[in-house]
Structure 1
Amino acid sequence: MPEISRRTLLRSIGVASAAVAAPTLLTSCSTSGSGGSASNRGADLAPWPTYIPKTGPAPDLKGDPKTGVQDAYLTYPDKLTKGTSGVPGDGSTLKVMTVTFGVTPKPEAQNKYWQAMEKALGVKIDFTTVPAADFQSKLATVMAGNDLPDVLNLAGSANIAREGEFIVKTMANLSDFLSGDAIKDYPNLANIPTESWKGVGRFHGGIYGIPIHRPRPVTALWINGTSFEKQGYRLGDSDYSRDDFTEIVSSLTRGKRYGTGASKDNPFGWWAHAQAHGVPNTWSHSNGKFTSYFESDRFEEMLSYLNSLWKKKLYFPESTSISGVDLTTRFYNGTVQSYMGGFSAYLTTLKMVHGFDAMPMTPYAPKGITPANWASKGYFGYTVINKKMSTSKIKMVLRVLDHLASPFGTEEYQRMHYGVEGVHFTYNKDGDPMPTKLGGTENITNLPFYYLCDAPQVLYVPGAQSGIRSLHAWEKQVCPGMVNDASAGLRSATYSTRWATLARGIDDSITAIVTGRQPLSSWGAAAKKFKSGGGGKIAEEYAEEYAANSAK
């Protein structure tokens, strides 16, 4: 299943339950040494971990770390190296918990992939995988109780009520182990780019979370490249207009096929269209003040355009009710010719799509507007360690996570991502690791070790050379001008408790306007309601945090 962003995950797992845990957590966290606060105001700020990049196999298409273009591999490395030395574990059992987008894995006793990972790590893994649909409620229960896992990944939980306070109260401050040059004891963790650490941010000045790296692009307007190219689109076109896009999706809408589609998780794929209309990335900072993208004067124009697509019946008719997972299935089978999805969905999309070329589209440009391609915060969730552990135990867990972060081209990376040769995969004639029948069920999707820790991503999908070339070309075009979210790594108590409700209200307004149930003129009132309902307070708290982080 394709990955989705932290914001999309929240919408898919029931935002209303985010506030349920708030009273209990507020009480339980108030006795921490920092007064329960995760804010960095007035705290001593731990230096970021020293970034020490590791040299891997030479890429077929070279990236650019300065702009965020990834190294791309058209073939799998002939020779693998060792990413670590020795076995990291001490033979004990670790209780771990992550979200999953797969199916329930077979028990450890029957699961050769699970067994191989335990043997390599030197620990028994008591693995709790929580389906995305249940993650919110499960995590609220865990946070409110005393039976916490040893290792917890908060993948996608950006809006968990009192999340920061919970982390400070119950999880280990890893600054002494990872801050500055201390991280040199864990070379693969030191290979995680600084921007990913900054994206997670500090908690009351300390480093608590280890980021699961993600590339610079956060979303993409995924298209059926074969169909779009037949209508005149070419990857790399820099003067592609909004009218051109409208004409193509109109031409591709016929019978039971639709030029574009969306899901209830992100109404009408508005993130992609907001970027095309030059709407800034989530939060902007200027002259000491923060401004939400809902306050952009281009937002209303974007809504007007989406309304025109809906009225022309160019959207898949179930776009207001279908889940994100089911929407991607419609894209894979050709029912929907374009949709907004997470960029990292390429890891699944290029495996699943065989009847056409799937690729991200260069944003179209309305007349007189330069698109604002949004950058990610550099991570998909982060991993924390229970503070009840001894120092020696924390170091052992960090060695385990360092092992899991072994980079592409190592034996450790191959084992975690593809399993055991001859059992879970075999090499095809081109040397790519391809899954066996057993590998179709015993794999990293159903037992997501990579949500505990993973290497920085590269562009590689077995047997998908054409798709990888398109992705690399797209990144070269859009990455240099990407716009950051100024709130990356900043803490806001109001965001933690109010954003879920605010976002749901905004989505409801967007849906009502695009479908014509409310007039376009109602958007101004919706944006004002967002600001008065908590958005303005979030902006103030971000400004205070920004100043605190900039002062030292």
Structure 2
Amino acid sequence: MTPNAASAASAPSRRSFLASSAVAAAAVAGGMPLLSACGAADSGSREGTTSGKDAKKLLPAYVASDVVTPDIPSRNGSAVGFTGKLAPADLKTSVPKKLGKGGKVTIMSPFWGSPPKSDNAYYRAMNDMIGVDIQWQNQDGNTYEQKLGAVLASSDVPDVVVVPSWNLNGKIPSAIISKFADLGPYLSGDGVKDYPNLAAVPTDAWQRSIFGGRLLGLPQPQPYVTGLVPLYRQDVFEKEGYEVPTSCDEFMALAKDITDAKAKRWACLDMKWTAFQAFGVLSANEKPLGWNLVDGKMICRFETDEYLEALEWTRKLFAAGVVHPDAELGKSQATDPGPKFAKGEFLMYVQNISQWWSRTAEQATQNPEFKIWGMDVFGHDGGDPVLWAEQPAGIWAFVNKKASESVIRDVLAAANVTAAPYGTKEYMATNYGVEGTHYTVKDGVPTKTDQGNIDVMNAYVMLAGPAPTVAHPDFPEVARGQVEWQQRMGAFTRKSSFYGMQVTEPSRYTNLSSDFEQMEDDFVRGRKKMSEVQQAVSEWRSKGGDKLRDWYKKLLDENGSAAS
């Protein structure tokens, strides 16, 4: 289910929204980072790597919002959480007067699904609230990168262009630097205080919005705690008396206990990504995050012993026959695992944290005994895990360099509304539209109407977001579970050398590690030998990995780290 489904109404965080819509092709089907972190490359050089003192001059002042108090505050990099019901009469106002001056602004953004009519009630209501005539140029999210590249190569660039991090390929990063306006004069330092909701955006998200030494992007903040959770059937565990494992050995023993192939029940799907977490392997969420300075030497994730050990343990799961046959054949990467998980054909799998809620909502009426929960990541030996931070922002809105000051101010006025915190009128308008037309509220739970599911999709939410938030008034126990899981895992999370920085690798390394993902999958399924994995790493070094290491080391020496 997605947040656009009326039968699963909730107020998900933007991260949940994006995981279940914008990243639908990857997150719902496979849910895993599809690029190895150390060597797939983009064009350009060292642009966009400003950190340290230079960055501090550009960053907006941080002023926490006091309009709404969350039930669960952010801790250890987590989202904030809300567990109460949502009463329209109790909604606060975070934008007391319109900041927009009535101008016209065109915004190009990726869109998943069928775009609504341009003059729909949702767009009209939002534009009236903001005081700006925003006209959306919605583009197919599945082919957005091609459209984005063509538009940025032309002279006809809309006033605002939304760019997800997964589209920062080819010439797009350099085009961003050359085509879009510096927002620093409007937002750096105390300038952001003219837009209180933007002032409450976490500093790390703004740091991540520096491209080419200038503050160019309006960010969608997200928690830096990993979004990949080992999910399990808590109801079956309780019924069968299974204990949640706290080490790799315990997991293997449990998996063997669960599996009964004759009864069509297996323990899990492919647990490779949990293995990477359990063994402390650097993040594969983004290429630069896979590099880290260790004892003065720059190390890439897949040249570590931990990387090989994680793959070896995952291979043992497959060899033991405890992995569902769909995963053995690779089908779990291309099909929705939800139905077979609900049937109990397997009891554990690793997925984006958004599925904690979406699976709960799916099964609430048809399978009331069903309960999914998130398993704490364990250290492979039973000790504390070593987890690695993801980037604190992953989608940006950029303003055309040719835009007038009045257009820029109108864009910031709009962003100040869409970045409103949960529990405000502006948040409800942005995420749910007009009460009575797009949603109704019953027992404190907002539910979208049929019209809401048509009109209120991924438009205004793409412009700018508030601090990461988790709120599910229909399933408050899930919201609490998600945030508290993030808080616990955040305590074990470290930031690697290029956390929070925009890094564009040289184009000559484009294909350096493009085969690693397939090689990993072949190895864990027994189709390749460990010697072949080690040979691939050796060849990666000789074909450019060592030079890329030097490039990253120089980059860090010249710019310093943004991690703290």
TM-score of the aligned structures, taking structure 1 as reference length: 0.84
In structure 2, how many angstroms separate the alpha carbons of the residues matched to 1:104 and 1:401?
24
Instruction: Provide closer, same or farther for how the CA distance between residues 468 and 438 of structure 1 changes in structure 2, counting only shifts above 3 A.
Output: same
> Which residue of structure 1 aligns with residue 66 of structure 2?
55
Q: Is the 8 A contact 1:215 1:457 kept in 2?
A: yes
Instruction: Name structure 2 gaps, 5 residues minimum.
Output: 3-15, 284-289
Q: Secondary structure of the residue that 1:148 maps to in structure 2?
A: coil
Instruction: Provide closer, same or farther for how the CA distance between residues 269 and 134 of structure 1 changes in structure 2, counting only shifts above 3 A.
Output: farther
Match of 2:280 among 274, 278, 281: 278
Q: Is the 8 A contact 2:136 2:459 kept in 1?
A: no
Give identity over the alignment, percent: 25
1:156 to partner: Cα distance: 3.3
> Which residue of structure 1 aligns with residue 405 of structure 2?
391
> Which residue of structure 2 aligns with residue 209 of structure 1?
217
* Bigger relative contact order (CA 8 A; separation at least 6): 2
- RMSD, aligned α-carbons: 3.5
Is 1:478 equivalent to 2:489 in the alignment?
yes
Q: Secondary structure of the residue that 1:106 maps to in structure 2?
A: coil
> Which residue of structure 2 aligns with residue 243 of structure 1?
249
Instruction: Provide closer, same or farther for how the CA distance between residues 154 and 89 of structure 1 changes in structure 2, counting only shifts above 3 A.
Output: same
- 130-139 or 418-427, larger mean C-alpha shift: 130-139
> Which residue of structure 2 aligns with residue 147 of structure 1?
156
List aligned pairs for 1:1-150, cutoff 5 A.
1=2, 3-4=18-19, 37-38=47-48, 40=50, 45=55, 46-60=57-71, 62-65=72-75, 67-78=76-87, 79-100=90-111, 102-109=112-119, 111-150=120-159
Q: Is the 8 A contact 1:88 1:403 kept in 2?
A: no
In structure 1, how many angstroms separate the alpha carbons of the residues matched to 2:358 and 2:453?
13
Match of 2:299 among 271, 286, 291: 291
In structure 1, how many angstroms separate the alpha carbons of the residues matched to 2:115 and 2:426?
21
In structure 1, how many angstroms separate the alpha carbons of the residues matched to 2:385 and 2:418?
37
In structure 2, how many angstroms separate the alpha carbons of the residues matched to 1:333 and 1:56?
44
Q: Secondary structure of the residue that 1:133 maps to in structure 2?
A: helix
Instruction: Provide closer, same or farther for how the CA distance between residues 188 and 314 of structure 1 changes in structure 2, counting only shifts above 3 A.
Output: same
Instruction: Provide closer, same or farther for how the CA distance between residues 40 and 367 of structure 1 changes in structure 2, counting only shifts above 3 A.
Output: closer
In structure 1, how many angstroms separate the alpha carbons of the residues matched to 2:512 and 2:231?
27
Is 1:440 equivalent to 2:450 in the alignment?
no
Is 1:543 equivalent to 2:553 in the alignment?
yes
Is 1:460 equivalent to 2:471 in the alignment?
yes
1:400 to partner: Cα distance: 0.9
In structure 2, how many angstroms separate the alpha carbons of the residues matched to 1:504 and 1:287?
28
> Which residue of structure 2 aligns with residue 413 of structure 1?
427
Amino acid at match of 1:292: C
1:154 to partner: Cα distance: 1.5
1:193 to partner: Cα distance: 0.7
How many residues get paired? 522
> Which residue of structure 1 aligns with residue 438 of structure 2?
424
Q: Is the 8 A contact 1:36 1:165 kept in 2?
A: no
In structure 2, how many angstroms separate the alpha carbons of the residues matched to 1:415 and 1:87?
14
In structure 2, how many angstroms separate the alpha carbons of the residues matched to 1:103 and 1:54?
33
Instruction: Provide closer, same or farther for how the CA distance between residues 230 and 41 of structure 1 changes in structure 2, counting only shifts above 3 A.
Output: closer
1:18-51 deviations in whole A, cap 9, x for unaligned? x9x98xx87xxxxxxxx99445499954432111
1:323 to partner: Cα distance: 4.5
> Which residue of structure 2 aligns with residue 378 of structure 1?
392
Instruction: Name structure 1 gaps, 5 residues minimum.
Output: 27-34, 262-267
1:161-186 deviations in whole A, cap 9, x for unaligned? 23331111101111111222221121
> Which residue of structure 1 aligns with residue 203 of structure 2?
194
Amino acid at match of 2:409: K
Match of 1:338 among 339, 343, 348: 348
In structure 1, how many angstroms separate the alpha carbons of the residues matched to 2:97 and 2:508?
44
Q: Is the 8 A contact 2:103 2:407 kept in 1?
A: no
Q: Is the 8 A contact 1:121 1:400 kept in 2?
A: yes
1:53 to partner: Cα distance: 0.7
1:479 to partner: Cα distance: 1.4
> Which residue of structure 1 aligns with residue 6 of structure 2?
none
1:507 to partner: Cα distance: 0.2
Instruction: Provide closer, same or farther for how the CA distance between residues 290 and 227 of structure 1 changes in structure 2, counting only shifts above 3 A.
Output: farther
1:405 to partner: Cα distance: 0.4
